[in-house]
Each structure stands twice: as structure tokens, then as C-alpha cells.
Structure 1
Amino acid sequence: MAIESKAEVSTESEDSEDSEEEPVIEEVKMQYDIYMLLFFIIYYVSWIGPSFIFMSYFMMVFREYFLEAPTFIAIFTELNPLLALLLMPLIIILCYLVRLLFIGVSTKIIWAITEKISPTKDGIIPRNIKSKAADYYHIRSFILKYGKSIFTKGIFPWLSNWFYNFVKASKIGKGTTIEESLVNDKYITIGKNCYIGVNSALSSHVVEGIFGNISYFEVKAKDNITMAGMNAVGPGSEINDNSFLLPLASGQKHIKIGKQGEDGKKNFGYYFGLPLRKIFKRKLKDYLGLSPEDLERNENLEEAIIAMKNERKSKTKEKRVKNIEREDVEDLENTSVDDTKDQRKEEPIDINSLTKEDLAVDFTTSSAISRINIKFLAVYIPIFWLSGLMAAIFWYEYTKIFGLSTILFLPFALFFMIYIFIIGVLFFSKLLLIFINLLHKPREGVFLAEIGDKDYEFWMLRTELKKIALWFLRNSPLPWIDVIAFRWFGIRMDFSSHLNDAWCDAEFVDFGRNVLVGQGATVMSSMVVGKYLIIKRVIFEDYVLVGGQTTIAPGTIIRHDGFIGALSTTTLNQVLEPNWIYFGIPAIKLKKNKYAAIRRDIITKRSVDDETKIVETTDVHFDDDKKEFIKIGDSEDKHVNS
């Protein structure tokens, strides 16, 4: 069904559908055994080819001609040792590219198998019951993470577009640039010549509560689209040609941005705000400081370039100089006497008189301490030395005897060596942390953020000590096991909770059961404001969901079944009530968290330009034996077997 309206969507219709009975809730467990099996398949396949290439070259060429050269001078005077040395960087790059290829091939094969069993399609996936659709949605999300991490954090990050297209996780057109971001990986279609700015998100999925839904709909972006940065567009959204989203412009699910031009003309649209709305030319001119001619030139760029070239050819250098001189004279004549007097009264700034305090950053979190003392970094030296020694001993023992088995098991050897080093960093960091906490016990409160204050200095030391271990874990082959480090450093957290590419302080944070923190979110139990350090415990009770790119301030308490939406922030010591959805900057109450009880097959599509909405029914993916647990329309059979 479809209903058109000019008004904003009201939540009353949803609330009227709420059931008085408690919905059936089944706590869905992740299939970690399957995840690990698929990960090791991709990991092993990706390393086996490069291992053969590198070890063969190293043992048969590099060692014989370079390492076993008769003299040091012979390395540079004889051809074979010199070629062996010069070819080594090329062999390393070749191995790296072969590894990327093998990651793509292995991921593509597994992806194709899962698509054959349970194809990706638009619809709602309930989270309060187990289903095949939900299982394969999570499997596909997991197997994509490793390849995405390797490509985007590697030396050729632009190859990530090839990876998504090759695996068929997404369709990305030629000339499109996707900057570093957290989503933008699956079930999206992007046209040609688009720019997706830093931390912008084309999100094909949204998690609506721990026991709510996964809204999973394809996001379509056409040609010549610009997302300036920190933008977010929800599932089921469409962005038409020549649409420009200014920084932070973000929208909800199922929105349509832009219009198709009539009679072959291009239709340019500029959007800003949260939620995003169209900005008209007059306001755009004021926002960007542009003239009407600038806007017209931008919309007719090709014609403007040709006109500028012709203009440059027709004008001589002498005329341009005269024009500049004439404009300078006019500017001087138009300058008022009062303005000149005011300028003379202003005293010049003496740069030499500025102090470090004048130039210091007034606000920082523990991830970027502006006044860190270099002596704190000295604690890394013994940690790295002892951890590296453990990894070196393992590598020495492994390579004592070289043979075919050495190459075949090299991927596992590299994996173990990486985690031997990381475990060493964790272990020795913990030992130092115990000693530091004996000297000065961590405590909550408000302290002076200046050198000499013990609470401030020990907070900096604890932060730097924990940060390095967390950094290694998050850049390892299994970044999601950073929960081990958090538990090791004293965070109250079990393995049912997840931090999906989120940033979290490593002390004074308590997680209940099955807490989900979205991608790009920031959880701060401490922050520096001006000259004060604030440390307050953050508490997440059971079944809390924190939306993506949301900031949690120190002292925040989110009660059970609480839900704070994406792109929101809390304030210091804010308490979010149980079973409520909060949203905004700062977060305010939006509505009751009843996603598990309302009808699941209703979606609302909105047109940003026309300010209209269309209410439609959609598919809900669940298994046949769970039909009684799902509330959908009786008259319309929208159930799709998963």
C-alpha cells in the first residue's frame, strides 16, 4: 500500500500497533566457530601464494647470492649480489599484491556460496529470534571485515573499490573515491565520479535495538555525487545525480535526495543539516561565501572552462596588469577614514610573547593528550623489547630447518608470531600497570590538568600504557578480540558485548550483558576540558545499544534496553531511562523502545526535495517455524523464506 502526505511521520501510528503483551525474545548467539573457520580459510589462502614466492626467492636467490656473498665489497661490485638486493623490494611488493588478489578470490568464493544459500535482498531481519537470514547476514558481514581492513589500511587503499566490486558486495563506478570510513562496504551501488568524504557512511543496514530489527535495504547513489565529510545516509536511500551534501548533512532511512533534470538538463541540489534538507541558492551563497556567478560557473563547469580559456587568449598581459592596478586604486579610495584609524589603533601581535599555554588545545580526550610528557613513552621500550624477544625466539626455532612444510605452515607461523608479540605487550603492560596503580590508585573526580597534579600525570601514564596494546590488537588480523584487552585492563565486560570499530576508554567503563556499540562511536570515561580533567564512570546496563558515530560523555548511565541513536551525544552525568530511545545533540527522549513489539513490515519513504512521504509494506525475513513470533499485516503476505 502507499499513502502520500506532506507531514512528517508521526510515531503515533507505530505506538498504536504496539502489543500489550511482552514480545517473545530469543537471545541470538553469534556463530563464532563458523566465523573463525571462514577467517582462517581466507587468511591461509591469502598467505600461501606469497609464502611460496617469498621463501623461494629468499632461500634460492637472496640467501645464496646476497647473504652468503664472500665479502661486503662483493655485494656492490658483482652483478648477482647487487641484483638480488635490488629485486627484493619488488618481490615484497609482488607478494603483497598477490596476497590482496588471494584475499579477494577466497572472499568472493565464500560470498557466492552464502548468496546461493540465502541471497541478499531488501527487507527487515528480526533480531529477537534466530533465522537463516540473520545468520548469513552476519556471516557475510564478518568475512568482508578482514579484506576491508587489509585493503583500506594497506599501502594501496584505493584498491578497496576493486575488492568490493570483485567480491560483488557492492557496485562502485569508475572515477569514484571513497575516503577512510567505517561502513560503505556492502549492498550499496555508487555511480561514476562520486566523492565519499572522510567518515561518511552509506549504510545499507541499521540495527534497531538489541531485540528489534535489522533494516537491510540497498543504498543507491548515482553519478557526480559529493559527500563532503561526516555524512550519513540510511538504508533504502537514493541519491540522484549532481547532489552535494555539505559537511555533517545526514538523513534517516528510506530518503530520496535530489531530482532528475528535465529535458536533459542537469539538476543540482545542495543539502545540509541533521536531518538533511535542501539549501537554496541564496542561502548556499551565504553559507559558502560565493557569488551568483560562482554558482552558475559551477553548474556549467565545462562551458565556464572554455569561456575562461577564450578570455585568456583574447586579453593581453598589459590589460590584466592595468585592471589589477585600477582595482587596487578603487579599493584604497573606498576605504573609509574611520577604518584606517581603527587599523592604526590595533597593536600588532608579538609572536615571541606567546606561551605554550596560549597555543595549547583546550579540549582533548585521552586519545590525544596535548601535554603528554615524553618520559611516559619510555615505558614502551621494555615492553617492545621483551615482547619482540618472545616473537624472535619463536621465529628462530621455526626457521631452523627449511623445507616444504616450512612454507606450507608459514601463514600459521606468522599468525602465531603476531599474537605472541601482542600477548607479550598485553602481559608486560599489565605488569607495569599493576605497579603504577600501587603507586597511585585510579579514582573518579575532577582534577587539575597540569603537570604536577598526581591524578593527571598518572592518568596520562595509564592511558599511554593501555593505548599501545589496544592499537596492536585493533590492527591485528582479529581486531574484534580487543575485548580481551579491555577485560585484562579492568573493564567490566563479557564476550556477549561488542565494540564494532568503536573507540572506548580503557578504564571506568562497565558493560552489561549483550551491549552493542556501533561503528565510529566514542565512549569516554575521561576528558580534559580547559584546565580540568574529568573522570567519571560510564555504565551500560543489559541490552543497551549505542548508535554509530555517537559520543558518550563521562558519567553517562544508560539503563537496560536503552537505545541512543546514531550521530547523537550525551552530556556529563546524563542518565538515560530504561526502554527509551534517545536521539540528538544533546540526546533527548524520542519514543519508547518497542521495536520488538510493533509491526515490522511497514516502512516510510521520504522525499527531501518534495517534503512528501510514502508508507509502504516490505518483506520480513524469518523462518517458517517462527512466524507466530513476528507481528506483520494479516491481509498482506509479506513473509519471505530466508
Structure 2
Amino acid sequence: MTNGEQKYYSAEELAEKWENNQVALPKIPFFLINLYQFIMPLVVVLFFIALVIWIYDYFQIYMWIQILLGPIVFMCSFFLLIWSMSKFCRLLNAYYDKKSPPREGLYSREFDHKNVVDPAVHYYHLRGFMYKWPVWVSKKSMFPWMVNFVLRDMAGNQIHKNFYYGDAYVCLEFSDLGDGAAVENGAVISSHVVDSIFGNLTVKKVTLEKNAVLNTTAVMAPGTTIEQNTAVGPRSFLPKNWKITSEKSEFTYGIPAKYSDYRNFFDLLPERFQKQWEKKKLEMEGKLKN
């Protein structure tokens, strides 16, 4: 191994190396991120509420009108909270980018007794920790569609305005999600993976092209691509650097996901359900014609 090169360990070497070792990451940076993410957006929301109260007082708005406007003020405050979370995280992310720009690749997660040895992995941990709170708040709010905005704004993901995220495990960074594409409920899409608890870290972009679909409970690993007009069936798995094309079939299924004779998801259903679906489809087509 030459100077400046990273050493990558096999699973057996890692097991032996870390059999009796422990890792203690520094707590202060993560605590400060939490404090920053909580206080700064809250200041913006409190300023907005103070402005609303001042307007009520200045224009002498009747109390019953204030009560009627209460739900609207609450929704605006919640929207502003998520928006400001994203903006403040974007500012902090810009600082982290100057220290260690995020990049794709393979990283050695070698630890000493206080932190990871590679600074790039340290900032990867900080960014991942920072992203999770705004993403969780937006997903669980009354504006779940804002998760797309948050991921675009603070983490630089390429997400088309017509892309759909269900209640899924979202990709925090390095994602390219196209027009009409969808990640359904319970699916997992990730641009990073750790090979065992102390293994190497892989970071690679994941791509869903136009009208590509990752169905429910399917898993998409780093470096994978689903080409346009192609669907991956439920409970399927796409390993690292896997590419799904539509040359042979527009529907793939399995572990790992591969070409199949199935035309679509409904071909996987029992025959009696297929008949019900065909009947329902004919009814829907008839209504559209009328």
C-alpha cells in the first residue's frame, strides 16, 4: 500500500479487528446540530406569530375572526417551520461542503477510539444526521409532499416535480429521480451502504428514469439504475451497481431483480384476482369512453 492510499479490510479481517473494540463518536457536534435545527427555525416561526398578533392588534381584528383564522395561521406556521428547517440546514450543509465536499466512492470506515480516521466519513455522518430531522418532520406533517422540496433544497438531490415518494425510506443524497417516477410505500432507496457494522462505506448515485417504479417493500442499493417505463416488483432487491433496463421486459421481479415473463405486477396475483382486475379495468375503460 503506497502513501495516501486507503486500506480496505475483508469481512474476516474486520471481525478480528473489532471483536473486542468499541467506537465512541464525538457527541458535541451532533448535539449542536440538534440545537441549531430546533432553535433557528423556531425563531422564524415565533417572529411570524408575533407579526400576526401585531396585525390583529393594529387593525383591531375581532376575536371571532381571529379564531376563524387560527387554523390557517397554524398551517402557515407549520409550513414555515419546515421551509426554514430546510433553509438553515442548507446553510450548514454549505459549510460542511467547504470542509469536505460530498462525493461518490468507496470509503474505509477505519476508527480510532474517538472518531473515524477519514474526515470525509466524519462529515458524511454529520450530513446524514442533519438531514434526518427535516425529512422526518416533513414526512409526518400535513404537507408530506414537502419531503421532495426538503431533499432537493438542503441535500442537492435531483428530484423532478412530478416524482412521487410514498411512505418510503427516502434517499438522503445522490439521487436522480425522474418525471413520473415513483417509490411506493415501504420501499427502500439508498445511495449509501455499510458492509457490516464496521465495514467499508459505499456511496453512489441511485437513478429512477422517467416513469420508473420501485414497488412496495422493494430495496434499491447504491449505484443502481431503473430505466424509463420499467417497474420493479414488490419484495425485490437491487444489489449495488445493478441496472434494470426495458429491453426485454418492462417488469422485473426477484432477489436480485431480473427479467421475467411477467408483464406487470398483476401477473403475480392468483388467477381469481386477475379476473377481478380485468373486469374492473374493462369497467373503468367503459366509463372513460362515456
Settle same-fold status: TM greater than 0.5: yes
For residues 406-450 of structure 1, give each alpha carbon's deviation from its aligned partner in whole angstroms, at most 9, with x where no partner exists.
Answer: 111000111111122221111110011111112211111111123
Matched, 1:618 2:270: no
* In structure 1, C-alpha distance between the alignment counterparts of 2:143 and 2:45, rounded to whole Å: 18
2:224 to 556, 578, 582: 556
Identity over aligned pairs, percent: 21
The residue number in structure 2 matching 1:633 is: none
The residue number in structure 2 matching 1:285 is: none
Check whether the contact 1:546–1:563 (CA below 8 A) recurs between aligned residues.
Answer: yes
2:27 to 374, 379, 395: 374
Matched, 1:585 2:252: no
Question: Secondary structure of 1:534's match?
Answer: strand
Check whether the contact 2:251–2:264 (CA below 8 A) recurs between aligned residues.
Answer: no
Shift in CA distance, 567/373, structure 1 to aligned 2, threshold 3 Å: farther
User: What one-letter code is carried by the residue in structure 2 that aligns with 1:467?
Assistant: K
- The Cα of 1:623 is off from its aligned counterpart by 5.3
TM-score computed with the length of structure 2 as normaliser: 0.78
User: What one-letter code is carried by the residue in structure 1 that aligns with 2:241?
Assistant: N
Shift in CA distance, 396/626, structure 1 to aligned 2, threshold 3 Å: closer
* In structure 2, C-alpha distance between the alignment counterparts of 1:425 and 1:456, rounded to whole Å: 24
User: What one-letter code is carried by the residue in structure 2 that aligns with 1:583?
Assistant: Y
How does 1:149-168 map onto structure 2 within 5 Å?
none
Check whether the contact 1:561–1:593 (CA below 8 A) recurs between aligned residues.
Answer: no
User: What one-letter code is carried by the residue in structure 1 that aligns with 2:258?
Assistant: I
* In structure 2, C-alpha distance between the alignment counterparts of 1:594 and 1:570, rounded to whole Å: 17
User: What one-letter code is carried by the residue in structure 2 that aligns with 1:557?
Assistant: T
Matched, 1:569 2:237: yes
The residue number in structure 2 matching 1:220 is: none
The residue number in structure 1 matching 2:102 is: 442
- The Cα of 1:464 is off from its aligned counterpart by 1.2
1:502 to 157, 165, 168: 168
The residue number in structure 1 matching 2:47 is: 393
The residue number in structure 1 matching 2:138 is: 473
For residues 468-517 of structure 1, give each alpha carbon's deviation from its aligned partner in whole angstroms, at most 9, with x where no partner exists.
Answer: 11111112111122111122121111111101111122211111211011
How does 1:284-323 map onto structure 2 within 5 Å?
none
How does 1:30-41 map onto structure 2 within 5 Å?
none
Question: Secondary structure of 2:237's match?
Answer: coil
* In structure 1, C-alpha distance between the alignment counterparts of 2:125 and 2:75, rounded to whole Å: 32
* In structure 2, C-alpha distance between the alignment counterparts of 1:403 and 1:455, rounded to whole Å: 55
* In structure 1, C-alpha distance between the alignment counterparts of 2:135 and 2:264, rounded to whole Å: 36
User: What one-letter code is carried by the residue in structure 2 that aligns with 1:507?
Assistant: E
TM-score computed with the length of structure 1 as normaliser: 0.37
Check whether the contact 1:513–1:543 (CA below 8 A) recurs between aligned residues.
Answer: yes
User: What one-letter code is carried by the residue in structure 2 that aligns with 1:536?
Assistant: K
Matched, 1:407 2:64: no
* In structure 2, C-alpha distance between the alignment counterparts of 1:445 and 1:603, rounded to whole Å: 43
User: What one-letter code is carried by the residue in structure 2 that aligns with 1:439?
Assistant: K
The residue number in structure 1 matching 2:213 is: 545
- The Cα of 1:583 is off from its aligned counterpart by 1.1
Check whether the contact 2:171–2:189 (CA below 8 A) recurs between aligned residues.
Answer: yes
- The Cα of 1:626 is off from its aligned counterpart by 5.2
Check whether the contact 1:551–1:568 (CA below 8 A) recurs between aligned residues.
Answer: yes
- The Cα of 1:593 is off from its aligned counterpart by 4.4
Shift in CA distance, 428/440, structure 1 to aligned 2, threshold 3 Å: same
Larger RCO: 1 or 2 (CA < 8 Å, sep 6+): 1
Check whether the contact 1:480–1:500 (CA below 8 A) recurs between aligned residues.
Answer: no
- The Cα of 1:559 is off from its aligned counterpart by 1.1
Unaligned runs of 5+ in 2: 1-18, 111-115
Number of positions where the alignment pairs a residue of Structure 1 with one of Structure 2: 252
User: What one-letter code is carried by the residue in structure 1 that aligns with 2:162?
Assistant: S
* In structure 2, C-alpha distance between the alignment counterparts of 1:430 and 1:514, rounded to whole Å: 26
- The Cα of 1:396 is off from its aligned counterpart by 2.4
The residue number in structure 2 matching 1:517 is: 183
Larger Rg: 1
* In structure 1, C-alpha distance between the alignment counterparts of 2:122 and 2:195, rounded to whole Å: 16
Question: Secondary structure of 2:193's match?
Answer: strand
